[in-house]
Amino acid sequence: MFGFLHQLLQYVRDNLDLTFSLLIGAMLLATATSVVTKIIATPGILEPIPGSHKIAVIGLPGAGKTTLITALFELIQRGVYIENVRIHGVKTIEIVNRYVARLSSGEQLSPTKEKDIFVFRFSYIKRLRFLKRVYDVEIADFPGEFSKEISVKFDQEANADTRSTKKGKRRSTAAKGAAVEELEYTLFNKEFFSWIASSREYLFLIDIAAIYSGENARRAVAEITARIKTSWQVIEDATSERGIGSAKTRNVHIIFTKTDSLIPLYLGKHTLAELISSPSGKELNTHEDRETAAADLRTMIAAAAATTDLSTPRGVSDLILTAISAENDRNFSDLIQFFKRRSRRAQIIYTSMTIADENGTRLGVERVLRATLP
């Protein structure tokens, strides 16, 4: 026994560095064990930190922004794509359920007014194998009328004599006017602009019923294309100026709404080409004949878009939907290519509140949900 102890003491004296390291390691292990035990014993301490995710819905009045947001919540409440969703705020809960009830009963939703400016907030958990991530999602519903006005605040700011550039030079009168005109031509004004600059997802809504039921569809396509491109270029400039990253890392989704309005056109063996240029494949004798035919088609589209019954969505042939999307994509090819070059991901989605699949999911809504949530 004494011989063993003598040998052990001799070993320790000969290996002091190793002995010291083992003692330090044992102490650190004991400390770590204690900390982990306390963490596990503390309720909620292991909950993941929520990630913020903002979605900007942008479009002219009547494009269907509020209706699309409501249709998204209709799916969310059914547990489609994401589960365990928690809506935040008494007002959000009240508005969501009221709007979903109106949509489900077939009522049209009224356009958002200035007094109704609202940000829908909800959170959900996304699981990746053994990990989970919590996301706090915000979807802003701003009135489309904002896109037709210049913010008084921005107007004053752009014309203020005390405003100067980075080089310390005062803006010229022409530069001030250009700044005001630029923002006027976008689909938002200053009240909305600050919010969308930090968004991660952008939904540009285009009402194709309004495009093709107007007197000059070609001009309408060019006008909305120019407005959206200007809007994005202003966002690009703002994100770089504010140091909040590049707009090229954000996702853009071009949402064509009211696809159902074009169904009668194609059922009648007509095409969008008859509204964009000259009649396709038809022998009409005079210019008046062509104008009369186009006017009849525009009236047909407007009447289809004016439907007030959203309660019984119907199925439509995939061939017709493919034909609509293919021809409309060609008409908006300039805008589509613009975003494919200048954003991380550009998706083209067609939606309708009166067209649904066998599960009752409205056309394009689930695709929007999957495309915009992280």
- For the stretch 186-242, pLDDT in tens is 887 666 677 788 888 999 999 999 999 998 999 999 999 999 999 899 888 887 765
pLDDT at residue 321 greater than cutoff 60: yes
Q: List C-alpha distances in Å: 297 to 129, 212, 266, 317.
A: 53, 9, 10, 20
> With 80 as the cut, is the pLDDT of residue 16 above it?
no
What number is the average pLDDT over the span 153-160? 39
Distance CA(250)–CA(346), nearest Å, equals 9
Enumerate the H helices of the chain as residue ranges: 2-14, 16-41, 65-77, 90-104, 152-159, 173-184, 190-196, 208-213, 217-241, 263-267, 273-276, 287-305, 318-331, 333-342, 365-372
pLDDT the model gives residue 284: 45
* Contact (Cβ atoms closer than 8 angstroms) between residue 77 and residue 100: yes
Closest CA to 49 of 131, 137, 138, 133: 133
Q: Which of 258, 228, 233, 226 is nearest to 248 (CA)?
A: 233
Nearest of 136, 131, 77 to residue 101 by alpha carbon: 77
What's the pLDDT at 343?
A: 86
Name beta bridge partners: 127: 132
Closest CA to 252 of 153, 372, 164: 372
Q: What residues contact 78, with CB distance under 8 A and at least 6 apart? A: none
Report the top-level CATH class of 51-149+189-372.
alpha beta
In angstroms, what CA-CA distances link 93 with 70, 73, 78, 370? 12, 11, 15, 22
Judged by average pLDDT, the poorest of 118-127, 147-156, 347-356 is 147-156
In 3D space, the residue among 306, 302, 349 whose CA is nearest the CA of residue 325 turns out to be: 349
Reported pTM = 0.75
The residue among 191 and 263 whose pLDDT is bigger is 263
How far is residue 135's CA from residue 373's CA, in Å, rounded to a whole number? 9
Sequence-separated (6 or more) residues with CB below 8 Å from residue 151: 183, 189, 190, 191
Mean pLDDT for all residues in the chain: 77
d(CA 219, CA 277): 11
Indicate if the pLDDT at residue 26 is higher than 80. no
